Structure 1
Amino acid sequence: MRVVLGPMEGVLDYLMRDLLTDINDYDLCVTEFVRVVDRLLPEHVFTRLCPELEHGSQTRSGTPVRLQLLGQEPDWMAENAVRAVELGSQGIDLNFGCPAKMVNKSKGGAALLQHPEQLYKIVKACREAVPADVIVSAKIRLGWEDPQDCLEIADAIEQAGATELTVHARTKMGGYKASEIKWEYIEKIKQRCQIPIIANGEIWNYQDGQDCLHQTKADAVMVCRGAFNLPNLGNVVKHNHPAMPWHQVVELMLKYSEFEIKGDKGLYYPNRIKQWLAYLRHEYEAADDLFRNIRRFNKAEPIAEYIRSLPRL
Structure 2
Amino acid sequence: MKENFVGSYGVLVTPFTDDGKSVDTQKLKNLIDWQIKSKAPGIIILGTTGEFLAVSDEERDLIIETTVKHVAGRIKVLVGTTNAFTPTAVRYSKQAQEFGCDGLMILPPYYYTPTQDEIYQYYKSICEVVSIPIMLYNNPFTSNVDMPAKLVAKLAKSFEQIRYIKEASQDIARVRDVIEESDGLVKVFAGERVVESYQLGATGYVNPYANYIPEASTIICTYLASNKIENAKSINRYIAKIDHIIAEGHPTYGHQCYSKALAAVRGYPVGDVRPPLTKFKELGEDGRIRVEKIKILMDELDQLLLTLAS
Common fold, TM-score beyond 0.5?
A: yes
TM-score (norm 1): 0.58
2:222 to 232, 235, 239: 239
Q: Distance in 2 between matches of 1:78 and 1:7?
A: 21
Change (3 A) 1:235 1:66: closer
Q: How does 1:62-141 map to 2 (within 5 A)?
A: 62-96=74-108, 104-105=110-111, 107=112, 111-112=113-114, 115-130=115-130, 132=131, 134-141=132-139
What secondary structure, in the 3-state scheme, does the structure 2 residue paired with 1:256 have?
coil
In 2, are the aligned partners of 1:64 and 1:90 still within 8 Å (CA)? yes
Q: How does 1:207-218 map to 2 (within 5 A)?
A: 208-209=194-195, 211-215=196-200, 217-218=201-202
Shift of 1:140: 1.2
What are structure 1's unaligned runs of at least 5 residues?
Answer: 98-103, 171-180, 245-249, 263-268, 288-313
In structure 1, what is the equivalent of residue 156 of structure 2? 158
Matched letter for residue 63 of structure 2: R
Q: Does 1:284 align with 2:283?
A: no
Shift of 1:160: 4.5
In structure 1, what is the equivalent of residue 253 of structure 2? none
What secondary structure, in the 3-state scheme, does the structure 1 residue paired with 2:75 have?
coil
What secondary structure, in the 3-state scheme, does the structure 2 residue paired with 1:45 have?
helix
Q: Does 1:29 align with 2:43?
A: yes
What are structure 2's unaligned runs of at least 5 residues?
Answer: 17-26, 224-230, 239-261, 273-278, 300-310
Matched letter for residue 166 of structure 2: V
Shift of 1:191: 0.2
1:46 to 61, 66, 74: 61
Give deviations 1:73-108, integer Å, cap 9, x for gaps: 3333222211121122222221239xxxxxx54x4x
Q: Does 1:221 align with 2:204?
A: yes
Q: Does 1:199 align with 2:189?
A: yes
Q: Does 1:167 align with 2:166?
A: yes
Shift of 1:17: 4.4
Aligned length: 238
In 1, are the aligned partners of 2:78 and 2:105 still within 8 Å (CA)? yes
Identical-pair percentage: 9
Matched letter for residue 167 of structure 2: H
Q: Does 1:3 align with 2:4?
A: no
Q: Distance in 2 between matches of 1:146 and 1:75?
A: 19
Q: RMSD between aligned alpha carbons?
A: 4.6
Q: How does 1:182-193 map to 2 (within 5 A)?
A: 182-193=171-182
Matched letter for residue 60 of structure 2: V
Q: Distance in 2 between matches of 1:117 and 1:280?
A: 48
Give deviations 1:264-294, integer Å, cap 9, x for gaps: xxxxx9769x98995784573588xxxxxxx
Structure exhibiting the larger radius of gyration computed from Cα positions: 1
Shift of 1:16: 7.4
In structure 2, what is the equivalent of residue 311 of structure 1? none
TM-score (norm 2): 0.59
In 1, are the aligned partners of 2:14 and 2:28 still within 8 Å (CA)? no
Change (3 A) 1:190 1:23: same
In 2, are the aligned partners of 1:229 and 1:282 still within 8 Å (CA)? no
Asked which structure has the greater RCO (Cα within 8 Å, sep 6+), the reply is 2
Change (3 A) 1:23 1:234: farther
Give deviations 1:115-154, integer Å, cap 9, x for gaps: 2222211211111112x3x22222113788897x612331
Give deviations 1:41-60, integer Å, cap 9, x for gaps: 855432236621333565xx
What secondary structure, in the 3-state scheme, does the structure 1 residue paired with 2:11 have?
coil
In 1, are the aligned partners of 2:32 and 2:71 still within 8 Å (CA)? no
Q: How does 1:247-286 map to 2 (within 5 A)?
A: 253=265, 255-257=267-269, 278=290, 281-282=293-294, 284-285=296-297
What secondary structure, in the 3-state scheme, does the structure 2 residue paired with 1:70 have?
coil
What secondary structure, in the 3-state scheme, does the structure 2 residue paired with 1:232 have?
helix
Change (3 A) 1:11 1:150: farther
